[in-house]
Structures are given as C-alpha cells and as structure tokens.
Structure 1
Amino acid sequence: MSEQIKIGESLSKTNAQRSFYRATVEEFLTTLTAEIVGHLSSRHVALHSSAQAEQIRAWEAEIAILHDAFSEMDVGVYGWSISLEVSLFRLAKRLDAVVLAPGVVAVVEFKIGEKSYLGAHKAQLERYACSLKDFHEASQSRLIVPILCADCAPQVSQSLQLCDGVANILFANRETLIDAFRLVAAQSDFDALPLDGVGFDASAYRPTPTIVEAAQALYQGHAIADIGRGDAADEELQAAAQALRDIVSGAETLRRKIVCFVTGAPGAGKTLLGLDLALKLRSGERPAALLSGNRPLVHVLTEALATDSARRGQKSKAAAKYEADSAIQNLLGYLKEHTDGAKPPEHVIVFDEAQRAWNAEVGQELMGRAKSEPALFLEILDRLEWCCLVCLVGPGQEINRGEGGLPLWAEAIADSIRNGVKWEIVAAPAAIDGGQLVCGDGLASDSDFASLDCRRVASLHLANAIRSYRNPLHGFWVAALLESDLVQARGFADQMDEPPTYLTRDLERARAWLRERRRGQRSVGLLCSSGAVRLVGDGVPPALRSNELSPIGHWFLKPYSDFRSGSALETPVSEYGCQGLEVDFAALCWGGDLIWDGHAFAPRRMQAPRWQKLRDPEKRRFRLNAYRVLLTRARAGTIIFIPSGSEDDPTRSPAEFDQTAAALLAAGCEALP
C-alpha cells in the first residue's frame, strides 16, 4: 500500500522521523490498533490533505495480520522492533513495515485483498530491499529479507536463499506471515550491533542516482540538492553548481565572456553538474545547452528524457524530444550548424569531456578548416555580446586520435586574446596546474597562457566519486592497475570493504553472477574493448558499434525482459558505446588486446592473422584508456571474465590469458568462489 511522497522531503519537514510509527514488538503487541492508526493518520495528514478511509482500513488489516503473526510465534521476539510507513524520501516511496531482528532487516510489503503475488509487486519490493542494501547505512551490514504479504493469496512453500546480502522474496498470506518471520528468526545474528526503530530512522539514506535518473529529475525541475546523497560528495556538487550559477550570472550582468574549467575524478558528477546548469538555464531567459562529442550519451539521455516526460503525461514524446534535443546536443552538429557566421542562440555552453577536444588536423578532416575544436568554439561564442563556456574536464578518458587535452585549450584561448577578444578564465586549480587529476599537462603548460590572468576557484573541482557508491577507492585502484603498479593496486584493494572486482574464467558463471544481481531494477550488462576482436572465439558476440544509436539506447533503457536490453546479457557494448554512461553491475570480457607480459600491461592490436604490440605512445594510451572506461562503468560491482583460450589458436593463447589473470589476482581481484 506504499504511496508516493514528494522528492526532496527531509526529515525536518516530517517531524524529524522517517517512520510514521515505531515501537518494540512487545510495545506493538500491547498497543490498541486504534492508537497505532491514530499515529499513522496524524503523520499522513501532515503530508497529505487527509487520511482516506481506504488507507485507514488497509492499516487496520496490516496491524491485525502483524499482531497475529507476532503473537503466535514460538520463538522469542525479544529485541525485535517494528516501524510502519517508513519513508525513503529520495526514492519517493514509503515501506509498509520494517521489522528489525538481530542482524536482520525484514521489509514487509502488504497487498491487502490480493489473491496472487503479482510481478509488479515483486519488482517493487525487490527495489525497496536493494535500495536499503545499497544506500541505507544501518542496513548495509545486515541481511535484508523482503516479504510480500498478499493476504488472500495461496500458501507457497519456500526457503531462504541469499545473494549479495539480500534474500529472495518470501511470499506470505494472512496465515503464513508467521512462517516468514520464523525464517527471519533463524537468520538472527545476536553478535550484530543492536538496531531499533530510532536507530533505523536516524541512519543515513544516501541513494546515488544514475546519470539517466538524475537527468530525468533535473528535467522535471528538481534541484541537485533534491537528488543528491546528502554527504560530502553532495555538498561538493551543490557548491560547484552554485559557483557556476554565480559565474554565469556575472557574465550576463557585466556583459563578459568567460571560459570556465571544472575538473573531477571519474564518476564524480561532472556531467550531472553540466546537466543541472543546462537544463535549469534552458527553462529561463539565458538559453543554454550541454554539448558532447559522445553520440551514444546524447542519444540515451535525450531518449530517456523524452520517454519519461511522455510517460508522465506532461507532453507528447515528440515535443519532449524536441526540447531535450535543444538542451543536450552533439558537439559536431553544433559546430557544423554555426560555421556560417550567425550568432548561436545559447549564451551558455557546457562542453562535456573538454579534454577530449580535437586538434587542427582533425578539424581539417571534419570541418574543412584547419582549426582545433577549442578555437572554433571560441570563434563562434565571440559573436555574442556575453557568453560563458563551461568546460568539464576528467582524467584518462581519451580514446580517439587528435584529442589534445588542456594545452589545446590554453593555446586557443591565448591566440583569441592576442587577437583582441577579452576572455576571462575561471578554473579549478587542477585545470591550471595539471597533474594526475587531469592526467597530464594543465593550461599553464602553455607559455603564452601562463602569462594570462586566471581566477582559481577551488569549488570547481569534484574530488569525491559518486558512481562507485560501494567502493569510493575503486577509481584509484583502476588507475594503479593500468599503470601496471600491482603492489599499489593491491594496497588500495586491501583498504576496500569488498574486492575491487571479481574474476572468473567461465563466461556463463559471469552471466549467472549478473542475473542474480539484476533484481530491484538494477541494470547489468556485458562490456568489452573495441580492440578485443578475438573474444568471439570464446562466445562473446561483437560489441555494438558507436553509430548504432537506437540499439545502444535499447541496451541502456530497456528492461531485462526485452532481448535488446543490456540486462538480457546477449550483446556487449564497447568503450565507445558506454563512455559517460553506467550500469549497476558489469561483466568486463577481457580480450587479447591488453595482456600482462610479466612486467606490465601490453596494449596490442589485431593485425590479422596475429596480434601486434602497439608501440606508438598515443595508441598505447588509447588502449589503456579504453580499459579505464570499461573498468569504471559499474556503480556497484564488476566481474572480469578472462577466457581460457585455445592451444590451437595463437590469437587466444592460454598462457597469455593465465598470466593476465594472475596479474589481476595479484592486484586484488578475487576469484569467484
């Protein structure tokens, strides 16, 4: 009987208590139903205009079923607690009941009057259970047991099975709820720290939205504060968002032209920050757009926004798609549209992954003009009376030739200023100074740029990764691994609560691992490098190409019941199809294009009929960055599949794969049990 509440409601807005009612089970059993319903109704009225009669009848039925189950249990319930109508504010839902036993959190979802256990209800409950496990601090160290109680449904024989700290759903009716509670009691861990309703309510709940969920929330008008985690990473995002709004406001008020550089770790929320700025300004008087050279990212986001808006009945999908397309655009399309000298409509442009901007040689090929991408952008925006160009800069994501990094921007800005354009530069310190945070030289590496005035703003750097919400050190582990520093990687792994990745030599076991974890609407998928062309010999189909936009959109947005979905585990995507996007759990199919040679990772390319070592430094870097992208796509966990190879096929050498697997295990990966 869960009911939606407003996104962004805080504990302070709801009388500082997450649950409408909470008590020990002993107190619950000695309290009159009318008194409990009174508590529920008073809290309900605080959020809604009234407590409807249907809702009150449902509460009365739920309380009676719970009372009967607890009263008849032949094992003690001492130390157990119960909370009713428990709000998960940022999920915009309420849990019907949370029963706390030692070391166990049981989530009970009631469907009063139902005669069967419906698939939609099971999916709903799985999402609640997985959300607690992933994002509720007190629940993360406890077993989560979801119980679906359809009071008129038939009895189901069942047992408890565990995966990733969450049990399978237990099905119960009015008479058999007691059996589910007995299974909960059997899992009790009396060594666990005590947890009652007060502690459960007070514990932090920090859901981390996917980039698609965040874009949908921002498109609906919510602020970053409404969808953030409520932690240090959230504070960083809010501070950066405010700094950008102030910079844009200053540019407009004073009629200035500003170039702004935002830096951040992989998965720290740079694209989210850009979306917030573009979508907020888009609905106001200062037209703005987020531009990306990543066509799959643009397609997935615009398709998701249009579909979600149409589903909510706000406007037709065509109208929503038109709006989304104007707010999130393809970089090359924007450049080609504005080469004629006309003023662009947007005064504020967000350039995603700006370190990947291409040089003059690529500009000649793509645009017929021997100018770099930064130079072309500055030329276009100079036509406006005022403007603000926000460049989002991340480390180690360059996977195409001609991507010149921050020195390319420094050169273009210095040239434009020499030609009389009064650009102001505002930047995170890392963008100016360079280093590991931007994987290379900064703006000041250009001698002409170094003489320019540049305002440093510390809040424009996002240090806290939010994508890997279970493993904040994951990005550091990936960096050490791909630098071939297995000792340092192992050091990071030893600091983690769980392994940085799992490893298996069996593709079907990797798929099974993902299937177990796609409960609760979690997304899963197969990934592989575009250079891993011999994986087909080990049963991995060719990856979707980056120009197959509709299939990639289906891969990320469809449910696992649709064979086109990545969660159906039929087709992988490469670094070109998934860069900037994410799944909850991924299986990285490791190919022969990056093997451990006994001392370091050796990037290779297929020169049929054999592998050839890459010796060009830029091409080696691109191959390593491909694996950097793939290893950082999963929000909750990754499993690496390394084939066994074949003695009859020199392109699939068992010895090379064995050596690579041994290196990953030495770096802290854990073999799948």
Structure 2
Amino acid sequence: MFNKYYGPSKDWAVIICLVGQGQEINKGEAGINEWFKALHNKFQNWNIYSSKKSLDINNQFEDLTITDNDKLFLYSTIRSLDAPNLPNFIEYLLNNDKDKAIDMLKEFNDEYPLYITRNLNTAKKWIKQETTEEADTIRYGLLAQSNGLRLIPEGIFVKNNINQEAWFLNETEDVRSSNHLEIPATEFDIQGLEIDYAIMAWDANLRYINGKFEYYKFKGTKWNHIKDTNEIERNYLINSYRVLLTRARRGMVIFVPEGDDEDATRPSEYYDGTYEYLKSIGITELN
C-alpha cells in the first residue's frame, strides 16, 4: 500500500530493488551486500526475498529473515539482442580467463562485430560506414574511462563535461552529439544507458603485463600503481571498464593507442600487452 501524500503506509509496504553486479564505480557503491548491511543495521524485522546466487551470505546476515527464491536472479542480460553473452565474455576477458573468453567470443562474433585497432581514425571510419544506411536512427559514440588522462594526445579529453541530452539525442552535425565522435562519455555518463555502436578507448590505467592486469591511476604527472591491498580502488577501476565494454548493443571497436616511447607517461609497453592480449582472445584487428 502506498499513500500518495505521505509515502509508504505505516502498516506495510513492498519495495522492489533491482541491483546489478559489478557496477560499483565510485565511493559509496558496494553492490547488493551493502543493501543487506543496511537491512541488518536498521530493518531486521523486514521480510526479505532474494536469490542467494546474488548474495554473499555470511554470519553478518544470519539474523535477517531471508527467503531464497531463484526466480529473483537474472541469469542473462538482454542489453544486446544480437550478443546476449557479451557481458559474460567481458567478464571472462577482465578476469583474465582467456580460454573461456575465446570460447564465448565464438558464440556471438558472427552476429556482433567486435574489433580492435591502434588507430582512432580507422575506428571512426568503420563506425560511419557501418551506420550509413541508418544514419537518422542509429546512435554511436566514443567512450573512455574517467581517469584515462593520457588519451589526451589522441584527442580524447575525458575531463570535459558533456551535455548528456545533446550527447544522446542531438543529430550528428551537432558537435556535442555522440554521433560526432569528438566528446567522450565516461562510465559515469553512460552507466545504465546504451548506444548502438561504440568506440571504447583503452588507456594505460588498466594494462596487461606479464600475463595479468595491472591497475594504475594517473595523478599529477605520473602513473601510480594501485596495490593489491587497495581492493576497493581496484574494483572501481575494473568495474568501470566492465561498464564501458558493455554499453554497445550492436557492435564495438576497442581502440588501444600505440603509445609514444618519447613520452614517459605513455611508452608503447604500457599499451602493447593489452592489445596483444585482446588479439590473442580472437578479437579481429581493424586496419
């Protein structure tokens, strides 16, 4: 029951919460367990229905009345009808589960074009060619992680404040439009939203070196390593890439810069490992 003047009735109410996994990208976001902590701290008399598949049940929640219901767990996404397994593929890719990523990519690669390139103009040219026949109805855009600060030499300025209404809705001729492929949207701009095609620019803050991902944050004039002990910051970074890599419904190009060995902040070794890793999974090179 809901009283339109005073909100939920004092007698009873039903609250439905839709909580995604791996979407925590900023301070104060901690996933579904944080919701249960709030229930534990303030609402222990509530009746709670959830699937235990989405919850890390432990002793801190044993005093809550939780009814397990598998129907409350969404096993697959419908973000992309052509590639419903894309989120699973991205999960394997970011978890460095190479064999599973290879197998998953084979399941949808014919229906969902996925490419990698070292040339941003090549990526832009491909997307424009791919969308020519649907130019009036299609939406595409440039995406980059919010701390991808060494993408600036490539012409990608992640600290620009975008006009979201113009970015998502205006026509291609408008320089503020996503379709103009000039202004990048970060994970904060596009979380919970989608576009049809995307160019995802991958900077050196998440770099693949010696068989695993290494986590960095650019501050001032240099990259600072995010240590293994800083699990929260590492999760924010990997989750932000997860968000960006799952925004495109119909196709995507991942752009990994060549780097510049004369620039101490972006030598080629910071990028080459990532590109080779993506290529080894089976993602097609766009030349």
Q: Is the pair's TM-score, using the shorter chain for normalization, greater than 0.5?
A: yes
C-alpha separation in 1, matches of 2:113 and 2:12: 46
C-alpha separation in 2, matches of 1:610 and 1:532: 12
Query: 1:646 aligns to what?
Result: 260
C-alpha separation in 1, matches of 2:31 and 2:273: 34
1:403 and 2:16 matched = no
Question: For residues 660 and 384 of structure 1, do their structure 2 counterparts lie closer, same or farther at Cα, with a shift above 3 Å needed?
Answer: same
Query: 1:386 aligns to what?
Result: 12
C-alpha separation in 1, matches of 2:207 and 2:160: 23
Listed as ranges, the gaps of 5+ residues in structure 2 are none
Per-residue CA distance 1:476-498 (angstroms, 9 max, x = gap): 11001111222221121123243
Q: Is the 8 A contact 1:544 1:552 kept in 2?
A: no
Query: 1:179 aligns to what?
Result: none
Q: Is the 8 A contact 1:493 1:668 kept in 2?
A: yes
Query: 2:213 aligns to what?
Result: 601
Question: For residues 611 and 650 of structure 1, do their structure 2 counterparts lie closer, same or farther at Cα, with a shift above 3 Å needed?
Answer: same
Q: Is the 8 A contact 2:123 2:253 kept in 1?
A: yes
Q: Is the 8 A contact 1:528 1:588 kept in 2?
A: yes
Question: For residues 647 and 452 of structure 1, do their structure 2 counterparts lie closer, same or farther at Cα, with a shift above 3 Å needed?
Answer: closer
C-alpha separation in 2, matches of 1:459 and 1:286: 29
SS of 1:425's equivalent in the other structure is: strand
Query: 2:198 aligns to what?
Result: 586
Q: Is the 8 A contact 1:544 1:577 kept in 2?
A: no
Query: 1:632 aligns to what?
Result: 246
Superposition deviation, residue 417 in structure 1: 4.3
Superposition deviation, residue 564 in structure 1: 1.5
Higher helix share: 1
Query: 1:25 aligns to what?
Result: none
Per-residue CA distance 1:233-285 (angstroms, 9 max, x = gap): xxxxxxxxxxxxxxxxxxx3xxxxxxxxxxxxxxxxxxxxxxxxxxxxxxxx7
Q: Return the letter of the residue paired with 1:630.
A: L
Query: 1:423 aligns to what?
Result: 46
C-alpha separation in 1, matches of 2:280 and 2:181: 28
Match of 1:528 among 127, 141, 144: 144
C-alpha separation in 2, matches of 1:495 and 1:556: 30
Q: Return the letter of the residue paired with 2:246.
A: T
Question: For residues 417 and 624 of structure 1, do their structure 2 counterparts lie closer, same or farther at Cα, with a shift above 3 Å needed?
Answer: closer
Per-residue CA distance 1:156-188 (angstroms, 9 max, x = gap): xxxxxxxxxxxxxxxxxxxxxxxxxxxxxxxxx
Query: 1:113 aligns to what?
Result: none
Per-residue CA distance 1:202-226 (angstroms, 9 max, x = gap): xxxxxxxxxxxxxxxxxxxxxxxxx
Q: Is the 8 A contact 2:208 2:273 kept in 1?
A: yes
Match of 1:562 among 174, 186, 202: 174
Query: 2:281 aligns to what?
Result: 667
Which runs of structure 2 are paired with 1:278-427 in the superposition (5 Å)? 345-347=6-8, 384-417=10-43, 422-427=45-50
Per-residue CA distance 1:362-419 (angstroms, 9 max, x = gap): xxxxxxxxxxxxxxxxxxxxx733222221111101011232333332232233345x
Query: 2:79 aligns to what?
Result: 467
TM-score where L is the length of structure 2: 0.90
Which runs of structure 2 are paired with 1:36-435 in the superposition (5 Å)? 252=1, 345-347=6-8, 384-417=10-43, 422-431=45-54, 434=55
Q: Return the letter of the residue paired with 1:470.
A: D
Query: 2:270 aligns to what?
Result: 656
Query: 2:120 aligns to what?
Result: 507
Rg comparison, structure with higher value? 1
Which runs of structure 2 are paired with 1:9-28 in the superposition (5 Å)? none
Match of 1:478 among 90, 95, 102: 90
C-alpha separation in 2, matches of 1:497 and 1:411: 40
C-alpha separation in 2, matches of 1:510 and 1:391: 38
C-alpha separation in 2, matches of 1:633 and 1:543: 20
1:623 and 2:247 matched = no
C-alpha separation in 2, matches of 1:493 and 1:652: 30
Question: For residues 624 and 448 of structure 1, do their structure 2 counterparts lie closer, same or farther at Cα, with a shift above 3 Å needed?
Answer: closer
Per-residue CA distance 1:514-537 (angstroms, 9 max, x = gap): 212334211000000011101011
C-alpha separation in 1, matches of 2:150 and 2:39: 44
Question: For residues 623 and 448 of structure 1, do their structure 2 counterparts lie closer, same or farther at Cα, with a shift above 3 Å needed?
Answer: closer
Query: 2:155 aligns to what?
Result: 539
RMSD over equivalenced CA pairs, Å = 2.1
Q: Return the letter of the residue paired with 1:542.
A: V
TM-score where L is the length of structure 1: 0.40
C-alpha separation in 2, matches of 1:500 and 1:651: 32
Listed as ranges, the gaps of 5+ residues in structure 1 are 1-251, 253-284, 288-343, 348-382, 435-440
Per-residue CA distance 1:133-167 (angstroms, 9 max, x = gap): xxxxxxxxxxxxxxxxxxxxxxxxxxxxxxxxxxx
Q: Is the 8 A contact 1:614 1:620 kept in 2?
A: yes
SS of 1:636's equivalent in the other structure is: strand
Query: 2:184 aligns to what?
Result: 572
SS of 1:651's equivalent in the other structure is: coil
| Identity percentage of aligned residues | 31
Superposition deviation, residue 468 in structure 1: 1.7
SS of 1:389's equivalent in the other structure is: coil
C-alpha separation in 1, matches of 2:65 and 2:15: 17
C-alpha separation in 2, matches of 1:497 and 1:406: 32
Q: Is the 8 A contact 1:514 1:525 kept in 2?
A: no
Q: Is the 8 A contact 2:147 2:158 kept in 1?
A: no
Query: 1:517 aligns to what?
Result: 130
Q: Return the letter of the residue paired with 1:571.
A: I
C-alpha separation in 2, matches of 1:495 and 1:398: 28
Q: Return the letter of the residue paired with 1:426.
A: Y
